[in-house]
Amino acid sequence: MSYRYERLSFSGLVDLISADGLYHLGFSFLFGMSIWVNFIGGVIAYRALPRQQFGALQHRTFPVFFSTSQILSSILLILWTLSHPDVVSNWYNPVIADVAQAWALATVLVTQGTNDWVVGPLTSKTMFKRQRLEKAEGKNYNDSGVSDEMKALNKRFGMLHGVSYLLSMGAVVGLIFHGLWLGNVGLRGY
């Protein structure tokens, strides 16, 4: 069996910069960031930081993560739609493979947008309210004998945190689906 070797040159490296290459880099960045924030970085920070510092870090980190996710998923969705014209005429039919990929990217955009604009701010507001109440009561939120107001805040925070997590997992699932498609079929499809 003979192998074909290709020599690298500067012009060959410049040719690597293409719409397809940039699409793959954008997707890779979005997917990697989503995996890091949801499964690695948050766990490390939770274990390493005191609870209130962890909350302050998440309050600052998540808006950047959600905004970046929205920007990248929007760009990818636009590029996908432009390079797959059947998406526009069949947007209502997600069993068409190219349309399903657009829906996967739209899922990322909508779930991260919902987290950024609705759930995240409500979660932060609840967290800070709970921290103020902890100071006023002189008790941690999970101590026995906390007030009914604290119990209500705990319940609200848990619900909001759960919704935020489910939205983030929806984005991750959409990205996994799209990534598997890209890996097996490619950007151009059939």
> pLDDT tens digits for 24-60?
999 999 999 999 999 999 999 999 999 999 999 999 9
* Orientation of helix 97-114 relative to helix 148-184, angle to 10°: 150
Rounded Cα distance between 153 and 136, Å, is 14
* pLDDT tens, residue by residue, 105-161: 999 999 999 999 999 999 999 999 999 999 999 999 999 999 999 999 999 999 999
Structural domains counted in the chain: 1
Q: Please tell me what DSSP assigns to residue 102.
A: H
Q: What are phi and psi of 22, to 5 degrees?
A: -70, -35
Instruction: Report yes or no on 73 lying in a domain.
Output: yes
- Any domain includes 128: yes
Q: What is the pLDDT of residues 63-118, one digit of tens each?
A: 999 999 999 999 999 999 999 999 999 999 999 999 999 999 999 999 999 999 99
- Which has more pLDDT, 189 or 104? 104
The residue range of the domain holding 73 is 17-184
The answer to whether the beta carbons of residues 94 and 104 sit under 8 Å apart is no
Q: How sure is the predictor about 5, in pLDDT bands with cuts at 50, 70 and 90?
A: confident
> pTM, whole model, 2 decimals?
0.91
**Domain contains 2:** no
- 44 lies in some domain: yes
Assess if residue 136 is contained within a domain: yes
In whole angstroms, give the CA distance from residue 118 to residue 88: 28
On whether the CB atoms of residues 102 and 89 are closer than 8 A, the answer is no
- Is 5 part of a structural domain of the chain? no
Residue in 37, 18, 19, 34 with CA at minimum distance from that of residue 73 = 34
Distance, CA of 167 to CA of 152 (rounded, Å): 23
Alpha-carbon gap, residue 33 to 18, rounded angstroms = 22
Whether 140 is in a domain gets the answer yes
**Beta carbons of 154 and 130 less than 8 angstroms apart:** yes
* Per-residue pLDDT, 54: 97
Tell me whether residue 11 is in a domain.
no
Check residue 124 and give its pLDDT: 97
